[in-house]
């Protein structure tokens, strides 16, 4: 199955840094940006999530909600959010989904 811009993404329920999320209910009538990252605390991902948090007002003006995905568990996400807030001088204001089955993890072997 592939998705294209403008397609309706499948609904799912998943644990996140903001609690359990049912995607379509969380999204409501807004547009959404779902972006994935290989793991918590990676330098590039940390700056990307920090920059996304800084764009909160721009996203809100366009009725867009951001949500991230990382293969690590929720408790790691909470620690990572603290790190992002401190190092990127922002406040992460969107959920980070936990991929309990690590389906998006790539093999390094």
Is-contact 96 17, C-beta < 8 A? yes
Q: How far is CA 17 from CA 33, 68, 79, in A?
A: 16, 10, 10
Position 2 scores a pLDDT of 82
The chain-wide mean pLDDT, for the chain, equals 90
Alpha-carbon span 59 to 93, nearest angstrom:
11
Domain boundaries, the chain: 13-98
**10 Å Cβ neighbour count for 84?**
26
Q: Is 104 a catalytic residue?
A: no
Of the pLDDT bands very low, low, confident and very high (cuts 50, 70, 90), residue 95 is very high
CATH architecture group of domain 13-98: 3-Layer(aba) Sandwich (3.40)
Q: Quick one: average pLDDT of 26-48?
A: 92
3-state secondary structure of 70: strand
Catalytic-role residue among 45, 66, 74, 98? 45
Of the pLDDT bands very low, low, confident and very high (cuts 50, 70, 90), residue 102 is low
The pTM of this model reads 0.87
């Amino acid at each position: 199955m592939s998705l294209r811009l403008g397609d309706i993404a499948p609904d799912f329920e998943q644990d996140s840094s903001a609690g359990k999320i049912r995607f379509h209910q969380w999204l409501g009538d807004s547009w959404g940006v779902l972006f994935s990252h290989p793991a918590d605390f990676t330098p590039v991902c940390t700056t990307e999530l920090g920059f996304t948090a800084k764009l909160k007002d721009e996203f809100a003006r366009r009725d867009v909600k951001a949500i991230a995905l990382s293969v690590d568990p929720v408790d790691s996400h909470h620690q990572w959010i603290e790190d992002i807030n401190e190092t990127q001088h922002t406040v992460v204001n969107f959920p980070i989904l936990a991929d309990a089955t690590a389906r998006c993890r790539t093999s390094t072997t």
